Amino acid sequence: MRWLKLVRGDASDDFPLVRWFSLVSLLAVTLVSVTMALVLARFLETRLLDHDAELSRDFVQNIVETQNVGNEFLAGGDSVRSAGFAEFFQHVATMNDVLRSNVYGLDRRVLWSSDPALIGRYFDRNDELEDALKGELVWERGEVTHDSSLSKGEHVRLGGARAIFVENYLPVFLGQGEQRRQVGVVELYRVPTHLNETLQMGTALVWICSLLGGSVLYLSTLGLVRKASALMHEQRRRLVEADALALVGEIAAATAHSIRNPLASIRSTAELQREIGAMPPEMCNETIVHVDRIERLVRTLLTYTRDPAEVLGEADPGEILRGAAEHYRPAFDGQNKHLVLDWAGPLPTVRGDVVLLQQVLNSLLSNALEASGPQATVTVRAGTVGEMVSIQVQDHGSGMPAETLANAFKPFYTTKPRGLGMGLALVKRVLDRLGGSVKIDSRPGAGTTVTLLLPMARAAVDPSTAA
């Protein structure tokens, strides 16, 4: 039945929130981190290379104006061999990290080059030169390649060295203000070691910061989602338990009237038979005791299913333990098993209802009796721990596997063929209402120990604040 699967916590359609979030958020954070690193690295490269090209342009323009060689760009021919133009070429060729420098006229012809074999040549397939001839400051950065199908024409005769180059196309102007006009282009082909190192370090730093930031964001968010998921699971567990207990309450309320009327008739008949001597008094008394026990169980079940309220009353744990032991000792003796009570001196009174606490002990002793083998011993220990009274029920049975232990307190969860699965669930709810706690230690083959912590009557523990 669907409701039974829900109250047992066996529903298989739970959405795996943490798993999906971890995967989706990992992909999202990785994508954002990588994109941010690429954008920042590109921005850093662009800004540094723009600044480097502007400095080179200003330096070359200052040389042109100082040497007053602007008009010689337009003259061409033998003017490029003049002393002033030759000095200009020399300044350009000796700039830092320059492997080659070319000077172009407006007709795209090489007026001068640090490689004499290029002087007078024209080069096709040069978009950067076209942009520079329009007055734009152009730079390009990359690795020298000697594949003829990929390399640019001006890369010829650079030798076999492979390096990261920076190529600047610097427009040269003549005049000032409205009379200012472009007269040529200077190309600087450089391998700027310091600039390349700065770019590499900056790019590495951008990637490291992006990845570290993404990792911190992912882990912190995942931790919050894990905590939120745990809280939701806990809330769901409480809702499932509340639904199960509401169902128990409905069943108990529906059957209580039908049960109590026959019980009253049975008890009255037993008392009458005892009075008139129609049956042995011992049999009548036993019938009355069992009827009273059933009546208490029904009353306890009804009491338990009500909304948690302040628990009134005090109880003597020693009396409760002795009463439970007296009730179960015949069953232990009949199955050739041993029940041992172990505590010294009187125990402090605890907060709680006597009937509820008796039912708690009865559930634990019933489980221990069923789990123990022949000649086995079940030990009940009691003592004080701070402001709590501790009660332990230990058996040496087969123990619980991890799955059973994890679900031990779930309503309607049971591994017994004829079990209802409410015993330990009732125990936990009673202890929670009292402001106490219950803990189970169990391993397969090593037996089971159930520890109850009950608040002392004088401690006045508020159940709503108990851990």
Q: Which pLDDT score, from 0 to 100, does residue 417 have?
A: 62
The span from the CA of 452 to the CA of 455, in Å, is 10
Q: Which pLDDT score, from 0 to 100, does residue 425 have?
A: 78
Pairing mode, if any, of strands 338-342 and 181-190? unpaired
The span from the CA of 241 to the CA of 19, in Å, is 25
Residue with tokens 């490269």: 45
Report the candidate in 384, 400, 365 with the shortest Cα–Cα distance to residue 317.
384
**Is the pTM value of this prediction over 0.95?**
no
Domain end among 172, 207, 242:
207
Q: Is residue 250 domain-resident?
A: no
The span from the CA of 297 to the CA of 53, in Å, is 92
Rounded to 10°, the helix 17-67/193-276 angle is 170
AA identity, residue 99: L
**Residue 122 in 3-state DSSP?**
strand
Structure tokens at 378: 């079940």
Domain end among 164, 188, 207:
207
Domain end among 207, 242, 269:
207
Q: How many domains does the chain have?
A: 2
174 and 319 belong to one structural domain: no
458 and 320 belong to one structural domain: yes
Q: Which pLDDT score, from 0 to 100, does residue 290 have?
A: 82
Structure tokens at 187: 């190309």
203 and 69 belong to one structural domain: yes
Secondary structure of 134-199 in HEC code, one letter for each residue: CCCCEEEEEECCCCCCCCCHHHCCCCCCCCEEEEEEEEEEECCHHHCEEEEEEEEEECCHHHHHHH
Q: Is residue 124 domain-resident?
A: yes
Q: Is residue 239 domain-resident?
A: no
Q: Is residue 266 domain-resident?
A: no
Pairing mode, if any, of strands 314-315 and 110-113? unpaired
What range does the domain containing 50 cover? 19-207
**Residue 249 in 3-state DSSP?**
helix
> Sign of dihedral through CA atoms 115, 172, 170, 138?
negative
Q: Which pLDDT score, from 0 to 100, does residue 148 have?
A: 46
Q: Is residue 31 domain-resident?
A: yes
Q: Is residue 268 domain-resident?
A: no
State in Å, rounded, how far the first CA of the chain is from the last one: 34
Q: Which residues of the chain have pLDDT under 70?
A: 1-14, 76-82, 144-162, 245, 248-249, 252, 257, 296-297, 299-312, 411, 413, 417-422, 459-467
Whichever domain contains 341, its CATH number is 3.30.565.10
The span from the CA of 203 to the CA of 37, in Å, is 8
Q: How many CA atoms lie within 13 A of 1 on its CB side?
A: 5
The span from the CA of 455 to the CA of 467, in Å, is 12
Q: Which pLDDT score, from 0 to 100, does residue 235 have?
A: 85
Whichever domain contains 36, its CATH number is 3.30.450.20
435 and 316 belong to one structural domain: yes
Radius of gyration over every alpha carbon of the chain, rounded to an integer in angstroms:
46
Q: Which pLDDT score, from 0 to 100, does residue 170 have?
A: 93
Q: Is residue 336 domain-resident?
A: yes
The span from the CA of 393 to the CA of 446, in Å, is 14
Q: Is residue 257 domain-resident?
A: no
